[in-house]
Amino acid sequence: MSLHPITATSDQIPWTPGSQALGAQSLFHGHETVHFKILSDRRTEGGGMAQIVRFSPPAGMLIKIVANARSDEHIYILSGGHCDKSGRQRLFPGDYLLHPEGLAHGAFLAIETRAFVVYSGEADELLDFQIIAASG
C-alpha cells in the first residue's frame, strides 16, 4: 500500500446537490436545501471521509435533521449555526461538536450554514429530514 497526501482546493470542488444523496426530501418547492463538497473519502480503504456541507433553509423555515452516528462525527461550524425549534441561534461559527459512534442526535438550522464534517468511518444514518416552520 502506497501512502500519499490528499490535497483538495475547496473552491475547485463543485457543490453536489443534497438530493443526490438524500432524495427529494431535501428539496423545498424544487430548490435544493443541502449541498456537499466531498474533500476526501477513504471508506473503501477502511478510513473515513471529510466534507463541507452547506444548509440553505428557506426564509421562515427550519431544516430539521435527526440521525444516528455510524462512526465518530466531528463538526466544525464555518458560518451560520444551529438553532432551537423557534429559530433562536444556539451554536455559532467556530463551535465544534463531536457525535460519538452510536449517538442519536439532531439539529435545527434556520440560516444558511456551512460546516466542515469529518467521519472516522461511515457517514450518519439519516433518520429524519424535514423542512418545517419555526415554532416561535
Does residue 4 belong to any structural domain of this protein?
Answer: no
Query: H or E segment at 20?
Result: helix 19-22
If one counts the domains in the chain, the total is: 1
pLDDT digits (tens, 9 = 90+) for 15-35: 999 999 899 999 999 999 999
pLDDT digits (tens, 9 = 90+) for 39-86: 999 999 999 999 999 999 999 999 999 999 999 999 999 999 999 999
CATH number at 69 reads: 2.60.120.10
CA proximity to 111, closest of 58, 38, 71: 58
Q: Is the whole-model pTM more than 0.85?
A: yes
Q: For the chain, state the CA radius of gyration.
A: 15
Does residue 103 belong to any structural domain of this protein?
Answer: yes
What amino acid is encoded at 68 in this protein?
Answer: N
Does residue 2 belong to any structural domain of this protein?
Answer: no
Scan for cell 473552491, then name that residue. Answer: 11
